[in-house]
Structure 1
């Protein structure tokens, strides 16, 4: 099966290798790229905090770009949204990593179950744009949190010819969609070519992602059982 991978390039390459092992043909169409803000990360880390929260390995990559290397926070509790983010955090030296089940609400509940209300706020090392559900749920759980946007995902532009070539020569059979913003961006680019989309399966990592798929394309929409790539690829 020819499968369109819409993740940023670094992550897309890893997904492509997994697809090849599964016997599929990946077609890379990164829809965004990360702009890291290491100085903003350093400024945020300089303020007192009780624990760290991350919802993307991109935050870890931002920290990895700090010079001199980060080391003071490696022993603090770090709450990661899923195993991919947790593995990235461990790889750079974090030792006290707690892993959520893949979404912001469950991560907030995990934090509340593992920590008593701290004297110092949690530090959420976030990206832009983001859903905002994590910090809202933390506040509902009476957990103080400070948000620092340490990277930004910006859109990659493609010409109409690029889109036609990547989706239709020969036709793609499935598209992997990883977030609401990711889905919006895909259909903004590709829905101008409905003939190339009419028979494609749209595989979404979550209900929130699926909600961003236009109604005209929902006949072939499927949602992963859990919000992680293993469950997403299981839909193929």
Structure 2
């Protein structure tokens, strides 16, 4: 892509703002117009028999931190961004899978001692608790936030009619965009996805060759696609 080209960031805030900073640092024009919005849930947390915490997103970390002052339990994070968020909230013992939910499950199975509490979205992309139980581990889950769909602005949608890139971090955002593209095809846009699972909802909607996914589920790998 040419220097200064527009890059639409569809992920929810506050993560979208951090991504925008990185996109600008690469010389592109960042358009922050999320397809999703995160809202924390008001829930009661029972940590009396919990030996470790598991997080599959930075949003889960931040929502948990608003609900509890507990920072002494060891944390297992799905990747570096989630691990960074956990350390930023004051957790001292943080292990990162640097991969996907399956990698996180393997990390927890190898290192957890006792019951694990997963804190995450009301509608998670994967079933970490079920996977852990399938390995014979004690695990429970609690929804600490929910993700709501939102409509992008007309100005943002107009950018799809010119050469532009769209960054997609989650299957749900990709499904929202796929619904938009059914009504408004984008002939010149490139859709850059965090993983193959994120790209799947767009496979039958976008123009052939316009959808690409990162070789690993990591934002640095995703941003590398901007220069490919």
TM-score, with normalisation over the residues of structure 1? 0.86
Asked if structure 2 preserves the Cα contact closer than 8 Å seen for 1:4 and 1:27, the reply is yes
In structure 2, the gaps of 5 or more residues are none
- State the match for 1:193 in structure 2: 184
Q: How many residues align?
A: 221
- State the match for 1:149 in structure 2: 143
How far did 1:158 drift? 4.0
How far did 1:165 drift? 3.0
Asked if structure 2 preserves the Cα contact closer than 8 Å seen for 1:77 and 1:97, the reply is yes
Equivalent residues in 2 for 1:55-204 (5 A)?
55-66=56-67, 70-71=68-69, 73-116=70-113, 118=114, 121-158=115-152, 161-168=154-161, 171-194=162-185, 197-204=186-193
C-alpha separation in 1, matches of 2:27 and 2:155: 25
C-alpha separation in 1, matches of 2:202 and 2:65: 34
How far did 1:115 drift? 2.5
How far did 1:176 drift? 0.8
C-alpha separation in 2, matches of 1:206 and 1:135: 21
Asked if structure 2 preserves the Cα contact closer than 8 Å seen for 1:163 and 1:190, the reply is no
Q: Which of 195, 211, 222 is matched with 2:200 structurally?
A: 211
Asked if structure 2 preserves the Cα contact closer than 8 Å seen for 1:52 and 1:76, the reply is yes
- State the match for 2:36 in structure 1: 32
* Residues 1:31 and 1:216: Cα distance change in structure 2 (over 3 Å): closer
How far did 1:172 drift? 4.4
C-alpha separation in 2, matches of 1:220 and 1:178: 16
Larger helix fraction of residues = 1
SS in 2 for 1:8: coil
Instruction: Indicate whether 1:19 and 2:41 are aligned.
Output: no
C-alpha separation in 2, matches of 1:96 and 1:164: 43
How far did 1:139 drift? 2.0
Cα offsets for 1:162-202 (capped at 9, x unmatched): 5533434xx242111111111001121243111xx112111
Q: CA RMSD in A?
A: 1.8
Cα offsets for 1:127-148 (capped at 9, x unmatched): 1221233223212221121010
Asked if structure 2 preserves the Cα contact closer than 8 Å seen for 1:52 and 1:79, the reply is yes
* Residues 1:190 and 1:9: Cα distance change in structure 2 (over 3 Å): farther
